[in-house]
Structure 1
C-alpha cells in the first residue's frame, strides 16, 4: 500500500513474490522453461517499446494507444500459454481462480472509467466543431457564439471526472495481489503464475500512467518493485523510472499538464480568443484565418486520437470479458482453458463471477 507520509511517491514493496512459487531447487523441464523464457523475453521487448523517444509523448493519446495495444497483446499471450501448458481447470488452485476473477473485475472497472473519460473529451470536441463552424462567418454575432463554444470547451476540459478517482484505489488493490499464491507440486502452475505476474506488472504500470494523465495528477503514480530475476525486470525498471520521473517533472514544473493533443487545441484557442473578442481589422482578419486553420488541425488530431484510443480500451475490455467467460465455461464443463467465445458487447459496471 502507499505510504501515508509520502503521498507524492507511493511505493509498493512485496518482498520476493516468487519465494513461494519458484523455491530453491525447483525444476522446470526444457519445454516449460523455453515457454516461459519466450514469454518473458517478449514482455521485456514490450517494456522497451513503451519508452518514448520524446519523453513528453507519454502524455499523448498516441503513446496511450501504443501502451494499450501492447497490453492487449500481452493478455492475449497468456491465453496462448494456458493452451500450450495443457493445464486443466481441475488442476487450478482455487486461489489462482479467485485472484484471476477479482483482478479482472477491477480491470473492467478501470476500462469503464477510461471509456467514460474518453467519451467526455469527445463530447467536448463537439464544442470545437461548433466554434469552427461559427468562425467561418464574418458576422460579429457568429463570433460571439464561437467565443461561447470555446469557453465551454475550456470549462469542460478543466473539470474533473469523478470516475477516475476510483481508479487509484483499484490500482492500489491490484498491487496487493502481486504476492502470488503458493504453487505446490505443479511445474506448469509455476510457469503460469510467473507469466501472470509479468502481465499484472505491465497492466498496473500502463493503467497507472493513463489514470495519472487523464486526472492531471502525478500524486498517485504507482512505483513497483519487481523480482530482479525476471527476464523483463531491467527493461521494466528502466521504463517505469523514465516515464514516472518525466511525468512528475512536468506536473511539478507549475505547467498545466494536459494531454499533448489537448494542449495543442488549448494553444490555438489562446491565440484565437483575443482576436475574436476585440474585433477584426485587416491585420486581425488575416491572423484569424491562420488561427482557425491551426485550431481545425489540432481539433482533428484530437478527435482521431480519442477515437483510436477508445477502440483500444474497448478491445482490452473485450479480451478481459471473453477471458472471464472462457474460464467460467471451463469451470462448469471441467475442460481445459481457454475456450473460444463470441465477442460480448461492452457493459457498464462490474462483471459478476
Structure 2
C-alpha cells in the first residue's frame, strides 16, 4: 500500500471540539459535573503515570503492557460512567450508537492484528530454544544446525505481518471520528461525548504506538492535537511528545528492531553467531559459555514479556467485546435491532489465538 512519506503525522485541526459538546452557556447540573471531573482527573493521572521514567523504557514490552493496562482501565471507566449517568440506550442518538459500533468493531480488528503479531514473535522462541539445545553438544554438526536456526530466527523476526496493514486504515478512520457528533438538549449526552473523546484520544495514541512498533515504521505514529480545555490535555501532550520523540529517534538510529527485549536478543545473537561460525578454542571457551547463558536469559525474558503483553491485549479485546455485546443486547431488547457486523467475530479471533 502506498502511504505518505511525511515523517510526522499531525492530526488535522478540527477547531474547538467542545463547541458542539459543551457549547458556551450550556448548563451541566451539579450532579453531573463531578462525574465528568472525576473521569477527566483520573485520565490525567493515568497519562502522567504512563510517561516513562527513563527513555530505555519506551517500547519495552513491560511499558507496552502498562500502556495496554491503561487502555483497559480507561475503557472500564467509560462503561462505569455510562452506568452512573443513568442514560438508557433508548435515549442514545442513533449517531452515537452507529459511531460506537463502528469504532468497537475496528478496535476488535486491531486487537486481532496485534495478537497475531505477538503470536508470530513468540514462535521465534522455539528456534532459539533449538539453538540453545544444540549448543549443549560439542558436535560440529550440531553447531552447524545452530547457525541455521539463528539465521532462521533473524529471517522470522524481520518478516512483515500482512495483518498489520489493516491497522493503518483503521487508525486513520478512528482519528476522523474524534470529531464527535453534535449533542442536542441532553446534558448527560454532552458529558458522555466529552468523556468518550478522552477515551478515543487515549486509544488512538496507544494503538498508533503499537502499530508503529510492530510494523517497523513511524508513518502511522500520530501527533494528536487536543483541545486545552480538557483537564487531561497537558498530561497527554507531555506524554505524547516524550514517547513519540523517543520512538522516532529509535527508528532513525537504524536498529533492526525497536522492541527493547527483542533488540536485546538480537544483540546477543550477533555476539554468539561469529563464535559458532569460527569455532571455539580453549581460550574462548569461557566467553562462549557466557554468551550462551546470556542468550538463554534474554530469550526467556522476551518470551515472558510477549506472553504477558498478549494477555493484556486479549483483556482489552474482551472489554471492548463485552461492552459492544451489552449495547447490542440493550438495543435488541428496546427495538429488536440486529447487528450483522458481529457475526463470526469470535470465530476469527479463535483462529488467530
TM-score tier (shorter): over 0.9
Distance 1:136 1:31 in 2: 68
The TM-score with structure 1 as length reference comes to 0.93
Distance 2:287 2:78 in 1: 55
Distance 1:272 1:99 in 2: 52
Shift of 1:164: 1.1
Contact persistence 2:272–2:288 (CA under 8 A): yes
Distance 1:271 1:183 in 2: 60
Unaligned runs of 5+ in 2: 336-343
In the TM superposition, what whole-angstrom CA distance separates every residue of 1:297-321 from its partner, at most 9, and x where no partner exists?
0000000000000000000000111
Partner of 2:262: 262
Change in Cα spacing, 1:346 to 1:315, as seen in structure 2 (3 Å) is farther
Distance 1:156 1:70 in 2: 30
Partner of 2:6: 7
Shift of 1:349: 6.4
* Pairing 1:1-353 to 2, within 5 Å after superposition: 4=4, 7-12=6-11, 13-334=13-334, 346-348=346-348
Contact persistence 1:117–1:214 (CA under 8 A): yes
Distance 2:147 2:241 in 1: 42
Unaligned runs of 5+ in 1: 336-343
Distance 2:189 2:257 in 1: 44
In the TM superposition, what whole-angstrom CA distance separates every residue of 1:256-304 from its partner, at most 9, and x where no partner exists?
3431000110111111111111112102221111001000000000000
The TM-score with structure 2 as length reference comes to 0.93
Contact persistence 2:16–2:227 (CA under 8 A): yes
In the TM superposition, what whole-angstrom CA distance separates every residue of 1:60-113 from its partner, at most 9, and x where no partner exists?
111110000010000001110011011011110000000000000111110001
Distance 2:346 2:55 in 1: 33
Aligned Cα RMSD in Å?
Answer: 1.7
Distance 1:48 1:172 in 2: 25
Paired residues, what number? 339
Shift of 1:55: 1.6
In the TM superposition, what whole-angstrom CA distance separates every residue of 1:201-229 from its partner, at most 9, and x where no partner exists?
00000000011111111122111111110
